[in-house]
Amino acid sequence: MASASYQKDYLDEGNWRNDVLASELMTTKEFLKKTREELQTFAHELTVVIEIRDSIQMELVDVYR
């Protein structure tokens, strides 16, 4: 009977660890999704800033001509 109890405890611990890992994985996936969204926003903002910089640079070139 001790063997069956040990196996149940072992299985329960395995299930608990599985739940913990599943929860950590879900949290990590959510964090990754948020990070990707932030990166996409940052990349778009950077593109806009570069376009503005290029436009200003062209204006300066025209002024010095």
Q: What is the pLDDT of residue 14?
A: 95
Q: What is the pLDDT of residue 6?
A: 86
pLDDT in tens, 18-51: 999 999 999 999 999 999 999 999 999 999 999 9
Residue 2 has pLDDT above 70, yes or no: no
Residue 65 has pLDDT above 90, yes or no: no
Confidence (pTM):
0.68
DSSP state of 60: H
DSSP assignment of 10-42 equals: HHHHHHHHHHHHHHHHHHHHHHHHHHHHHHHHH
